[in-house]
Structure 1
């Protein structure tokens, strides 16, 4: 699922019936308030304790008497394996685990701040599905969790070996999966990710180059300068000047 393409939005519903049928599946993930939903004749209240899965082709309807907001996640047939899709369809209304609540709130916050990037959604969906089903994370979710963990801890001394150990596979297998799903090796992915964050903060903050080197896992300012020059042809200071000149 790492290279899937999803669509997500925040929506609210009112007292008017919004019956619908479509050729893709949906997860309805409440952020606030509640909905009264009917999915193919099965009814339930969907709120912060219950989420809904609408199978492709199922007629569904939702109304609400009060203020409400939900994440609506569209899923194409290719986005879920057949076994997972069948399990979700068999229980269209699911109790929300604490892990799932945290994931729902996280994505809602990113959407509110307009900071939701496609790769974050691809990381989030496998984790959410496993959390909703109460499963031990499978390999796609473990990989998604690894990518999220690395991005949240870029100052750590990551190697291909310790990344592979986290997901309980060999370094060569991890390398192959990265190439298949991300089109680059773990080492190149990590370098690109670190420089993406460095460049963003060079453009938007006054943090020193030494501080950025420390935050994003470079041995010192010189190491960051070498990496920036190799990737962009510019030093960090030159990149910052150019970025601010454009503004």
Structure 2
């Protein structure tokens, strides 16, 4: 008897384009999710059950083109597939929906507040949907929605706590790649912002410099003390 597995007939990630070849509208659509990804790589360095995609295609139907959000987070999947990494995120291979999708809006509207939002809720069932729009003036720049009974409900808080992820997401001014502006960051349950890799390196360098300065000052004080003892006719070596 012939064994038939429909999954064997579906295209694999190697056979599918890894994006829709549509360039991002501006740098923020790459830099903002890249900052979130790099911070996760630092704070979850010992975890291997997560993946954060940046401008990567999500294949949900073999007959449809990929959907390419600016960023998305999946839990319960392998962080690395192999040394070639992921080419795209194929749902029939991963078997896990992203838990969070992020869109960074620009002057070119892509349906972030309408068609895409509806698709993530109705078609895919993504638990959290976040939209960051730095160009907004009269409404919140960052909106985070949670899926409840098939509908997205706007969440409150700043930052917004995401219990299933164990992190909060919010916005504040900072410096990333030398650029001073408002960025999106991860936060702990107490609302404290988690340091980025750049900030951790800077903090470590400042600590090393501080300790070196402390040692130098201690050596200078010891030298001054030795000179005063000699002025009094006491050899410091005789005191040891």
Structure 2 length as normaliser, TM-score?
0.27
Q: Which has the higher contact order (CA 8 A, sep 6+)?
A: 1
Q: Radius of gyration: which is bigger?
A: 2
Q: TM-score, normalised by structure 1?
A: 0.26
The structure where helix makes up a greater share of residues is: 1
Structure having the higher strand fraction is: 2
